[in-house]
Chain A
Amino acid sequence: MGKNTNGFSIIGKPMAMSDARAKVTGLGKYADDLSVPGMLTGKILHSPHAHARIRSIDVSRAQALAGVKVIATGVDARNPYGILPIGHDERAFALGKALYIGDNVAAVAATTAEIAEQALDLIRVDYEQLPAWFDPEESMKAESNWINDERPQNIEKEYHHAFGDPDKGFERADFVAEERYYAGEVNHAAMEPHATLAIWEPDDRLTVHSSTQVPFYLHRTIASVCEMPMSQIRVIKPLIGGGFGGKSEIIPLEVAAAVLAKKSRRPVKITYTREEVFLAHRGRPITIVYLKVGISRAGKITAVQARVIQDGGAYCGYGPVTVLYSGALLGAIYDIANVRYDGFRVLTNKPACGAMRGHGTVNVRFAFESMLDQLSHRAGLDPLEVRRRNLLKAPCITANSLRVTSYGLPECIEKVFARSNWSEKKGKLPYGKGVGMACSHYVSGAANPIIRSNMPHTTVYIKIDRDAAVTVYTGASEIGQGSDTMHVQIAAETLGVRADRIKLVAADTELTPIDLGSYSSRVTFMAGNACLNAAKDMRDQILAAVAKKFGCAAEELEAKGGHISHRSDSSKSLSFDEAVAVALEFHGALVGRGTYAPPEMARGGKFKGAGVGPSPAYSYSAQVAEVTVDPETGQVRVDKIVAAHDCGRALNPLTVKGQIEGSVYMGFGQALQEDMIWKDGRLMNPSLLEYRIPATKENPEIESIIVESIDPEGPFGAKEAGEGSLAATIPAIANAIFDAVGVRINSIPITPDKILEALREKQKADAGNGANGAKRPSLAGNAR
């Protein structure tokens, strides 16, 4: 753990999170923990129909109920919004049509939650039901009754990319596989249900405390929906009980609370029930992948062709970005010259999908890594060796114009090869036991902002005054991943002071400068670099003042161990407090400023859709899963997962390991048990009792290994750690199941019934052609 920490006092050393005490004492405040005098409780009326025209809404009886203070419907906030500039198709409340079971139709704010709920029952909505679309492949053939009139055939967006010469690549292949893969829909299931407290201030301003990963986008959206200038609105992010992407766009309750607060001139809090969390959703979409891959006899990938269809639900959300990531991240992991990609984001009458940990890459990576395993076996090659033979020669620019700088994948593969005893186990374990491996990668932030501009992606200020406390002001959003701690470490290391001297003010649009938010794993790389730049700016100011006092050059001084000292003359040394006093006398005010924007050459190609996928740096992961499959019941137990992750440099090995293990855990859940089950647009399992995220009993042992490739542009060489490991877990498990019982399941979650069905088919096929191999591949696809 943590090599290359040479010379650092704080960077690279395990450090408890800076907000850990607030969390373990129960004193830290999450959005639903907040209350203010006179606060009303808001409740939202959801559509009971999947696709329906709203003929009229009668709120008169609800309005007459004692304790009801305000009711809002679509006419109260007509401005459309959406996270992407090309997808402003949502409104605070449905205007004209409701598009899914759970769509937002009206909201009530009342003195108690009970009264608000009673009032919802008294609202009369006259609906005209319309034909609805639930299956994405059916929906994209629709000739009429489109969900959004401006989206013919219910296609939100489609992209068609070709790089190199895929046809020639397939001609050169010695082995070609073609399969259909299916991934069910999954939800972030962060333990904290969303909550928003919107406060109408006496001076006609609006303050919004919300469970958001993106205070800045929320700020913009509330300004637009409430038709107020941004300067009159303050957004504050309290503690966040997990995000994983589920709080990375504007969630309906956030605008509903703001609209109710503005209309009532009162504070209004809305907290979702767990069912409402599932209905607001924004999770990973049902994804159908038609994949074709060719490899040479030597195991070199010659061409890849993917047709990806994503069931986006009723609104655009992040949809176009998701489907672009699915194509773009076919690149930047292996050396693949020829790629064809056709991606379709399709509307259906279900809750909108969105960004979820490993945004866009996870389901396609499952398909790709499964197929690479299948092709390796057909070619008679070790699948791990096949990965070795397809490595990039970094630094490089990929066929689809992604710039790869640091590339720790080779080391990740060798680490898991050794730690898992791969060569002792692969193909050698008794029937029912198996190992499988897979790789994955992810961006360290998107090189291009959602709203195009030439402004920085992040700005950080540092203030020091006469108490010599160092206050870091950052817009970055701590959501449990360690954002705050990362800032503290970088500032303390750079200024040469103890971490407990750093105070952090974060994610409050009135006090802190801009940060685009906690999504696409951008915080360590981007906010980290901005913090580093601000700390260097501050350090340089202090050193300049002290140098003047000592009559030496600033370069001769260093900030270390709580002192500003001459590098060679030990008589010239001031404590940090003394140095601050000198600097204040010299400069008057001490403010350090830092910004970060990705370099031009990291921003990708010029083709349509090229903006998504480019990142200043990519993280890498290799994993080996070891499983036991019971062929009688189809039950899979994952005994262990060894996961190596290249995070550039582990600024804090404790939190990096936590991120790797959390990613593997989430991949494990999607691989074997998590699935949102739909019937005619109705979610059949909208609770944590029925939508089963793994508990301690089923969760595998996870061995996380940190690989440090020291990125040339990351802060102290760091890259992302929070998402890149998720995608490899699913195919590693699927490939291990094949190794164990000889069947390939192309549909996740891999439930016992799918395994039993595949085993029966394999038995039939084996009996038919007289095969006896216990571990032969089944070519049967899974139709689901």
Chain B
Amino acid sequence: MNKELMRLHVNGEEREIAITPNRLLLDALREDLGLTGSKRGCDDSSCGCCAVLVDGTPMLSCVALAASYEGREITTIEGLGGPGELDPVQEGYAEMGGAQCGYCTPGFMIATKALLDRNPNPSLDEIREALSSNLCRCTGYMQIYESVKYAIEKLRAKSSAPVSAGR
């Protein structure tokens, strides 16, 4: 299969890569763009480790063809926070034990980000529902819920705080 030049919009930057049309988005991100934050945990779209945001919606990049996502806004875990700055979701998972081995964490944070973007004040059941496509083998999920709650509080404090100069 011949490679074609493709433009992907990833983490706010346009990236050009030469890939075959059957290249999976996960492989394009990990191998062609060096964005190894998205993980492969299974072979059958059952674990959620590879989730990325496509136009704000979580998608499994292991079952998506990269070529189909030209012109879409793709956000990986590397693009969640700013340079040297954590997104409140990342802060929550770091501070509250949501990341033990950390391998499922990118997928969980992507799912959490998508949830909080559309529902800044979810109930525990809504959190469980939103995270139900992701598998974690370490935490027993309790500290993941704590991490999400931390992010909710953080975002709430941020939105009610006066706009500060400089950013």
> Which residues in A have some Cβ–Cβ distance to B below 8 Å?
16-17, 19-30, 32-33, 35, 188-193, 239-244, 273-275, 479-482, 654-655, 657-658, 661-666, 668, 687-689, 693, 695-697, 699, 701-702, 704
By a CB distance below 8 angstroms, the chain B residues around A192 are 39, 41, 101, 103
**B128→A24 contact, CB < 8 A:** no
- Shortest CB distance B60–A (Å): 12
- Shortest CB distance B65–A (Å): 16
B24-39: which have CB < 8 Å to A?
Answer: 30-31, 35-39
Give bound CA distance, A22 to B132, whole Å. 25
- Shortest CB distance B150–A (Å): 11
Give bound CA distance, A699 to B127, whole Å. 13
**Interface 9-residue window, one of B2-10, B74-82, B156-164:** B74-82
By a CB distance below 8 angstroms, the chain A residues around B91 are 24
Chain B interface main SS type: loop
Tell me the number of A-to-B contacts counted with CB atoms below 8 Å.
179
**A696→B77 contact, CB < 8 A:** no
Chosen A-B contacts, 13 in total, with CB atoms closer than 8 Å, are A16-B97, A20-B93, A20-B95, A21-B94, A23-B102, A24-B86, A192-B101, A480-B103, A658-B97, A665-B141, A687-B46, A688-B41, A696-B131
By a CB distance below 8 angstroms, the chain A residues around B64 are none
Residue of A22, A25, A273, A665 most packed against chain B (CB within 10 A) = A25
Chain B residues bordering chain A, tally (CB within 8 A): 54
By a CB distance below 8 angstroms, the chain A residues around B43 are 273-275, 687
Give bound CA distance, A514 to B111, whole Å. 40
- Shortest CB distance A157–B (Å): 30
Known: A27-B37, A480-B102, A688-B46. A21 touches B138 (CB 8 A): no
Chain A interface main SS type: loop
**B97→A191 contact, CB < 8 A:** no
By a CB distance below 8 angstroms, the chain B residues around A25 are 37, 77-78, 81, 86, 90
A-B pairs with lowest CB-CB distance, top 9: A26-B37, A480-B101, A241-B103, A23-B102, A665-B140, A661-B140, A26-B77, A20-B94, A33-B36
In this complex, what residue of B is CB-closest to A691? Answer: B46
By a CB distance below 8 angstroms, the chain B residues around A16 are 94-97
Binary flags per residue of B14-27, CB closer than 8 Å to A gives 1, else 0: 00000000000000
**A191→B95 contact, CB < 8 A:** no
By a CB distance below 8 angstroms, the chain B residues around A32 are 36, 40
**B36→A19 contact, CB < 8 A:** no
Give bound CA distance, A695 to B130, whole Å. 11
Contact of B100 among A35, A189, A662, A666 (CB under 8 A): A662
B44 contacts A by Cβ under 8 Å = yes
- Shortest CB distance B22–A (Å): 10
Contact of A657 among B44, B105, B143 (CB under 8 A): B143
Residue of B43, B77, B101 most packed against chain A (CB within 10 A) = B101
Contact of B99 among A24, A661, A704 (CB under 8 A): A24
B132-167: which have CB < 8 Å to A?
Answer: 132-144
Known: A19-B102, A21-B94, A695-B132. A190 touches B46 (CB 8 A): no
B113-130: which have CB < 8 Å to A?
Answer: 127-129
Contact of A190 among B38, B44, B137, B141 (CB under 8 A): B137
Contact of B35 among A26, A29, A696 (CB under 8 A): A26
Known: A26-B77, A191-B103. A662 touches B139 (CB 8 A): yes
B58 contacts A by Cβ under 8 Å = no
Give bound CA distance, A240 to B100, whole Å. 10
Known: A26-B77, A191-B49, A688-B47. A696 touches B132 (CB 8 A): yes
